[in-house]
Structure formats: structure tokens, C-alpha cells
Structure 1
């Protein structure tokens, strides 16, 4: 279980660093200004570099993954999303994949039973867990946009009102906080419960989940357990958004743990499996149109070949073709 405990210990150690630095050594400026700026810089530069590296690689072949009828004769029904024939159809397919995980919805699991007998079954729990995890993180991120504006935008206010619809506690409880923790618990338990998943799982599979879980837990602690000065936090976020290097005010060390873990996640993002967030848009199996019958795809690595026309071929072998009794176009 080393692959599980090591990431957990790493997140615990990372959580202790800002607490000790701020509470005992007064390093609020380092953890509140310098490190967040460096993390964002590393995130933007790393993300841009990875995208540039992928975009610069040629895609000579049409390798679209298809699950339906290709565009053919007019009287044959064409599955536009399953086998896109145009760029717009391929774009819509990618967006459906990004927002609704269409391919994961079809995911099946294979189990070997006594007999032996191989059985296939639906795997919708993974689809629901992944969807809940990603959508909750998106809504939580959008909710945090209120810290970067003096007056929260209308869409942020709508998200907040919807998220705290039940008004279960005071302060209001956000549904996405509970959903994302439940989704993280399920994704970790799924890797631990299944023997096959335990074998193929790596420390890099658990570390982002534990890191995001730590960010969420410390964020919820500031809201429901140990209250912090929200005005001072917002002032710091406004300064960061305006590229100001002013020193932060007196803020609880819990906030610096939350901010430091978020900075670690941002710096770690471009160099990890989390880059699938950008890679999905560049996946040739998804973003290409299935038009191999309409358009010729040439491999740029192939050597240049001189093609001969039939008339040139006949000029070279006309006499031999006549002797063999083969028809020729020219006498």
C-alpha cells in the first residue's frame, strides 16, 4: 500500500509547510504573494508549452474513433456525432465528450466468473463519479471567482444561490463541497477495491486526488470550523488579480495551507496526467472528421515518390504490350 500512503504523507507534509512558515516564522508574504505568482506562472508556461508541443506534431492519418454509420449514400442514415464527417460535427463531438463524458458513459467492465465464464456489465458508476467530480470542481472554481471582483458577477451569484439551495446550515452549506468529497472518496475506493485497478494504479494516480481533497477539506474548515477574515482574503485576492505585490493582512494559517495546496496543484498540473484537460481537445481520435474517403491524408515522413502516369508507362512498354497481345491506347 506504499503507492497510497506515500501520496497521503506528501499532502500532509505539504500542509504543514505553510502552517509552520506562517504561524511560527511570519512568512505570510512568501506563501501569500510569491508562491502563488510562481505557481500561476509555471501553470501558464507549462500548459502553453505542452499544448504547443502537441500542436506541432503532424497528424498525417485519419484515425477517428467511430461508433456509428459513416457518411455514405443519401438514403443511408448518417450518425453525425458517432462518425463526424465535417469539422463542425467533430467539434460538437469533442464538446459532448468534454462536458458529458460520452465515451465513458458507454464504458463496460469485464469480470471472470467460475466456469470459467467471462461476463460483461455496464459501468455507469464510474461515469457518474467522474461527472460529479469534474462538474463540482468547475462550479467550485466559478464560485471562487467572487474573490477576484469587487462586486461578484451575475453568473457567480446565480451559481452560489443554486449551490446553497437547501440552506441546511449557517453559514449556508454548498452542495458541491459534499459532492466533490464523495466523488473523491469513490474514485479512491474504486482503485483500492478492485485488484486489477490496484495493480495498475500508481502514486501519481492517488496524489492529485489527495491533493484536491486536502484543498477542499481546508477550504471547508475555513467556512464551517475555524472562521477566517474573508475581507482580508478578498483584499489579497484582488491585489493578486491586479498584479500587486502588497503584503497581505493578518489571515489565519488555515488560509495559507489552502492557498499553498492550490498553488502546488497549479504548478503540478502541466506535468501530470491532469493535462488530459487540454489534451482532450487535441486528441486525433476525437477531433478529426471521418473523411478518409473524401480527402487524401499524406504522411509527411514519407520520402518523395515520383508517380508515373499510364501514358508514360505505355510509352516505355508499348512494344512489349503489343507482343503480349495487350491493348494499347496509342499505336
Structure 2
């Protein structure tokens, strides 16, 4: 059920978009109104989550460290794993965001012959890196639909992505890599017993939703070709707030757009929000300079206390009657 429910949900969403556009002709609803509403909800939700994290109290320095802290001059410091300066924190965050360095250092622990064996777990790092970088390139490639003229950097990115010139239309390498990455992340949750036990429906739903978006986009490019002129007209109309829905657009495009809209609405309130939350994690964005500076909790305010001497003065007679010893004596 943890797998079936999110899978059926994504298929149902795709089917609804197909039926409403292919048979009910609700092109304006799925091509204009829903994308606008989804983008607005995405921006609002993203800002709300960021503001909440940004205004949350962080009274202590709690960076996660893996190397030597800055101490004596002749002891070499791990400036990336245990930064003590702002520059070190920036370098650490760049390695974390761009190359998932903490995930690269991840290891797995298993019991073998009554012994704990620690081994490498680089497959998860590789699969996550392939998926995220491929998804980033695909999103940047789609800027060609929203900008006129198409910027040179988008054309260069497309050229690099299709460098092997495979097939007609030319095969984008990221289309293959993103499917491979999503498939690996899904199979990992299914095949590994411990991960399968811990996984919930909310872990499978974004995987199936992303797969639905990717597969529908791939099918539109390589199987059921859509009218790119009408698509460009639609996307440019959305950007310029003058939307025009062409009559020759295939329903599959609206399925693709609707799934993307669902992802935008779902994104800020899901685990996918780690893309923005990583910058606000005190375990990552703080310098470990506790030896150099004393950090006082700014929320420490004077608190009226009731000392034991005052307590004894107030209840001394009653304590004496029941035989309790008194410091005053």
C-alpha cells in the first residue's frame, strides 16, 4: 500500500489532465489557470518556509564536524570539515550543495559474523548526484521555451547535453541519466529491507511524480511529437501575462504541465524543501569557533528564582516538625 497509493495517485492525476483536455477541451484551465495558481502557491509556500527557518532561534553553535578543529598553530586544521571562519563555511556549503560531500562520506554499518563491519556507501551518493545534476540541466534547458531570443548559455548547454548526436531527434544525455537516477532511488527503497521498512508513502509519491513528469516529457520529444510553435506561443504568453492556448497542442503536454503544477504546489510542504532548508541548517552554516569566542545565548533573560535559603525560611517550621534537617541550624 505504501507504493500502490502514491503510484495510483500520480496515474490518476495524469488521467484527469488527459480526459479534461482531450475530451472536455479545458485547455485554459490546465494551460493557464492551474500553472499560474501553482506557481503562486509555490512562491508563497517557499517564502513562508524560508522565513520560518530564518526567524527560528539558534542559541547554540552546533555545527557537524568531521575533522580537526582550529587549535594550536602547529596542529593542522581541517578547514573544510571543521571551518572556523566565514570563508570556510562558504567552501563547506558549496561542496555540500554542489557535490553532496557529506553523503559522499556516508558509510554503511552491517553485522557480519557477530562483528560490526563498516563499508562504503557511494552508490547512494552517485545516484543522488546524477539525478540532481540531470534535473538541474533539464530545468535550465527549458528556459529556451520562456525566453526569446534563446540565450547563448542555453544553446551551449543544449549542445553539451546532446554532444553524442544519438538518434533523431537528438538524444539528450540528461534524459537518460535522470530516469536512471530516479529508478535507482526507487529500487533502493524497495530492495534494501531497512530502507523499505522506514519508507512511507510520502517518500514514494515525489519519486513517482518526478518519474511521471520526466516520462511524459521524454514521450513528447521522442514518440508523440508536439507542435513546438504552439508550445512556445503558450509558454511565452504565460511569461508575458498574455496567455494564448493554441488549438493544435497535444493533450500529453497538458498532462506534463499539470504534473509539474502539482509538483510546484507539493514542493514547499514536502521533504523536497531540503533544497532550500540546507542553507538554514545550523549544523552546516555555522563556523566552529567555540574555542576562539564565547557565545552567549542572546535569549537568556533574568529569571526570578526561589533559592533554597528562601525556601527554608518559608517552610522551615513545617520541615522541622517532620524531622527534616535545616541548613540554618
Same fold (TM over 0.5): yes
1:89 paired with 2:94, answer: no
Query: What pairs up with 1:192-231 in 2 under 5 angstroms?
Result: 192-231=190-229
Deviations 1:71-119 (A, max 9, x none): 1222221211111111121011111100000000011111122x32221
Within 2, Cα distance between the matches of 1:122 and 1:98? 21
Within 1, Cα distance between the matches of 2:149 and 2:245? 22
Which shifted more, 237-246 or 145-154? 237-246
SS, match of residue 150 in structure 2: coil
5+ unaligned residues in a row in structure 1: which ranges?
Answer: 307-331
Within 1, Cα distance between the matches of 2:200 and 2:299? 35
Match for residue 21 of structure 1? 20
Query: What pairs up with 1:72-151 in 2 under 5 angstroms?
Result: 72-113=71-112, 115-151=113-149
Q: CA RMSD in A?
A: 1.3
Within 2, Cα distance between the matches of 1:78 and 1:116? 37
Which shifted more, 71-80 or 51-60? 71-80
SS, match of residue 283 in structure 2: helix
Within 2, Cα distance between the matches of 1:239 and 1:295? 55
SS, match of residue 116 in structure 2: strand
TM (norm. structure 1) is 0.89
Match of 1:281 among 272, 279, 282: 279
Match for residue 174 of structure 1? 172
Match for residue 312 of structure 2? none
Match for residue 11 of structure 1? 10
Structure 1 stretches of 4+ with a deviation exceeding 4 A read none
Instruction: Using the TM superposition, give the Cα deviation of residue 152 of structure 1 relative to its aligned residue in structure 2, in angstroms.
Output: 1.3
Within 2, Cα distance between the matches of 1:240 and 1:86? 44
Number of aligned residue pairs: 304
Deviations 1:37-70 (A, max 9, x none): 0000000000000000000012110001111111
Match for residue 297 of structure 1? 295
TM (norm. structure 2) is 0.90
Within 1, Cα distance between the matches of 2:264 and 2:161? 25
Which shifted more, 161-170 or 45-54? 161-170
5+ unaligned residues in a row in structure 2: which ranges?
Answer: 305-329
Instruction: Using the TM superposition, give the Cα deviation of residue 248 of structure 1 relative to its aligned residue in structure 2, in angstroms.
Output: 4.0
Deviations 1:201-245 (A, max 9, x none): 011111111100110101011111011001110111111111224
